[in-house]
């Protein structure tokens, strides 16, 4: 099988690494890729916002399968353009990717499918925002309705900060979604689907805030782990029944079947599970940890999903180990960052048993690996439990040196020491 992976982040590097380990995969090309991917596979430059350019690449390279990593090309219709050339594509159509591209649309689908989620109001003016904030009370949850690269959501007790964020979203032309605050641990579940059959991966948890103890602003994600040792044993079955299957059925009923991965982001509240968000692609950094525990091949599963044959696939096989992923971010992230800082210690990090370095914002300059983004790379480690995986991941993190970089020190800590509880 020849696979073209679209994207340039850690998610895509993790996918590339997994495909490379599989006997049925003959060739992997990444576009545009990053310095980590280019050391392992051919990379080709492409503007991921240009769906026809992606389809041209897929056609010229005679690929059997295109896997679109990020949300932007999906929302723009990259999967439609690829499929129009008769090539299998893992990723939803533009119409189905609206589940991620518009929070208001996602709420409509959830209401129709009776999927539990936070109550919410879509606002188009400062006055409406003010009224909604008053109605829901603190903590305030204010969201940009559209795509915002993981930075569109503000959760705060400070009403002025909530109003400020709403004003910024409205000023750039977005609607604003104000919603009820959900208290409880968060879970990410990736559900592979061909529009009808659905296969869950292992549930994982992301750490979204920039600082230890969940302090500071939200980011694209600072680290992740799996399995969720603290979660009820029927969690995945419950999410499939209450969330994933009804949503997939509702999308099919509308004539816009969802093909690809439905990322269910949930909070486990005292009232039961509630959807925080849907995404139309794998979550980064959760997928880095999850793929470390996937012992069966990924490519046939994604190909079957892309071609309507998921029901015929054997279930994925998961290791009983644990995996922890720690993101190393550039100085200033999630704000503006400087690029071009040299990255040291990558080989030392890779030598830690069970640890792997996955690149995100990296580039090659003068034959050195340098930074080129906010999240620079992630270190993922596997161990026989979370504590062993943490120890290896942090040994590898310590080996990597980048001027001014930062990371969280508490990824998977609460899960590993048993201090996460699900509200009853
Ligand atoms: P989203 O982009 O919608 O996933 O939001 C980013 C993060 O903001 C989530 O992972 C949560 O940590 C937080 N968040 C979003 N919505 C809510 C909510 N209704 N209640 C509490 N936290 C939320
Ligand atoms: N880890 C959060 C996301 O991918 O949206």
pLDDT in tens, 112-161: 999 999 999 999 999 999 999 999 999 999 999 988 876 789 999 999 99
Q: Given 3.30.1490.20, 3.40.50.2000, 3.40.50.410, 3.40.50.300, which CATH number is that of 120-179?
A: 3.30.1490.20
Q: Does domain 322-417 have CATH number 3.40.710.10?
A: no
Question: Which residues lie with the beta carbon below 6 Å from any ligand 1 atom?
Answer: 118, 141, 143, 153, 155, 179-182, 186, 208, 218, 265, 276-277
Of all protein residues, whose CA lies closest to atom 4 belonging to ligand 2? 283
Rounded to whole angstroms, how far apart are CA atoms 299 and 69?
A: 14
Pick the CATH number of 183-312 from 2.40.50.140, 3.40.50.150, 3.30.470.20, 1.10.3470.10: 3.30.470.20
Residue nearest to atom 5 of ligand 2 (CA): 283
Report the nearest-CA residue for atom 1 of ligand 1.
277
Give the fold, CATH level 3, of 2-90. Answer: Rossmann fold (3.40.50)
- Give the tokens for residue 225: 């782990």
**Confidence label for 424 from pLDDT (cuts 50, 70 and 90):** confident
Give the nearest ligand 1 atom to 209 CA: 12
Q: Note the pLDDT tens digit of each residue in 160-219.
A: 999 999 999 999 999 999 999 999 999 999 999 999 999 999 999 999 999 999 999 889
Tens of pLDDT, residues 24-72: 999 999 999 999 999 999 999 999 999 999 999 999 999 999 999 999 9
Top mutation candidate among 285, 360, 378, 380 for ligand 2, by most atoms within 8 Å of CB:
285
Q: Which residues contact 208 (CB under 8 A, 6 or more apart)?
A: 150, 186, 214, 218, 219, 221, 222
Asked whether the predicted pLDDT for residue 391 surpasses 80, the reply is yes
Ligand nearest to the CA of 214: 1
pLDDT in tens, 326-382: 999 999 999 999 999 999 999 999 999 999 999 999 999 999 999 999 999 999 999
Ligand 1 probe mutation, 104, 132, 153, most atoms within 8 A of CB: 153
Ligand nearest to the CA of residue 139, numbered in listed order: 1
Task: Output the pLDDT for position 146.
Answer: 86
Residue to mutate, 286, 288, 325, 327, ligand 2, most ligand atoms under 8 Å from C-beta: 286
Shortest CA distance to 88 belongs to which of 316, 314, 304, 310?
A: 304
With CA atoms as reference, report the closest residue to 141 among 159, 117, 116, 168: 159
Phi-psi region of 33 (alpha: psi -120 to 50; beta: other; left: phi over 0): left
Point out the ligand 2 atom lying closest to the alpha carbon of residue 11.
4
Residue having the nearest C-alpha atom to atom 3 of ligand 1 = 277
Q: Where are the domains of the chain?
A: 2-90, 120-179, 183-312, 322-417
- Output the pLDDT for position 147: 87
Interacting residues of 32 by C-beta distance below 8 A, sequence separation 6+:
8, 43, 44, 45, 46, 48
pLDDT over 90 for what percent of the chain? Answer: 96
- pLDDT value of position 246: 98
How is 355-418 classified by DSSP, letter by letter? Answer: EEEEESSEEEETTEEEE-SSEEEEEEEEESSHHHHHHHHHHHHHH-B-TT-B--S-TTHHHHHT
Q: 211-251: per-residue pLDDT in tens?
A: 999 999 889 999 999 999 999 999 999 999 999 999 999 99
């Amino acid at each position: 099988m020849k696979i073209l992976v679209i994207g340039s982040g850690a998610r895509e590097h993790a996918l590339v690494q997994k495909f490379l380990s599989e006997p049925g995969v003959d060739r992997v090309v990444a576009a545009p890729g990053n310095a980590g991917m280019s050391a392992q596979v051919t990379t080709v430059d492409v503007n991921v916002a240009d769906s026809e350019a992606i389809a041209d690449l897929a056609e010229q390279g005679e690929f059997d399968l295109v896997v679109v990593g990020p949300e932007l090309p999906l929302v723009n219709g990259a999967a439609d353009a690829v499929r129009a050339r008769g090539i299998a594509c893992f990723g939803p159509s533009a119409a189905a990717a609206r589940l991620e591209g518009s929070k208001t649309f996602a709420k409509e689908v959830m209401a129709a499918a009776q999927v539990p989620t936070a109550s919410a109001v879509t606002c188009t003016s400062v006055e409406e925002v003010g009224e909604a904030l008053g109605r829901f009370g603190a903590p305030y949850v204010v969201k940009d309705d559209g795509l915002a690269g993981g930075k569109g959501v503000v959760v705060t007790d400070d009403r002025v900060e909530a109003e400020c964020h709403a004003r910024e979203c409205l000023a750039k032309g977005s609607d604003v979604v104000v919603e009820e605050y959900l208290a409880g641990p968060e879970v990410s579940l990736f559900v592979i689907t061909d529009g009808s059959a659905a296969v869950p991966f292992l549930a994982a948890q992301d750490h979204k805030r920039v600082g230890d103890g969940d302090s500071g602003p939200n980011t694209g994600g600072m680290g992740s782990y799996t399995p969720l040792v603290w979660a009820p044993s029927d969690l995945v079955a419950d999410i499939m029944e209450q969330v994933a299957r009804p949503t997939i059925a509702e999308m099919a009923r509308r004539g816009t079947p969802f093909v690809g991965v439905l990322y269910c982001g949930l909070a486990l509240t005292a009232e039961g599970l509630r959807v925080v968000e849907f995404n139309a692609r794998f979550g980064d950094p959760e997928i880095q940890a999850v793929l470390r525990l996937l012992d069966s091949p990924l490519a046939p599963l994604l190909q079957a999903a892309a071609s309507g044959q998921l029901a015929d696939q054997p279930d994925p096989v998961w290791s009983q180990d644990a995996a922890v992923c720690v993101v190393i971010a550039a100085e200033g992230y999630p704000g503006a960052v400087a690029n071009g800082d040299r990255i040291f210690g990558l080989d030392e990090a890779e030598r830690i048993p069970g640890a792997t370095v996955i690149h995100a914002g990296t580039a090659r300059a003068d034959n050195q690996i340098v930074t080129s983004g906010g999240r620079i790379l992630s270190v993922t480690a596997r161990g026989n439990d979370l504590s062993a995986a943490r120890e290896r991941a942090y040994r590898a993190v310590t080996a990597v040196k980048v001027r001014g970089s930062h990371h969280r020190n508490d990824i998977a800590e609460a899960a590993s020491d048993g201090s996460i509880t699900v509200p009853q």
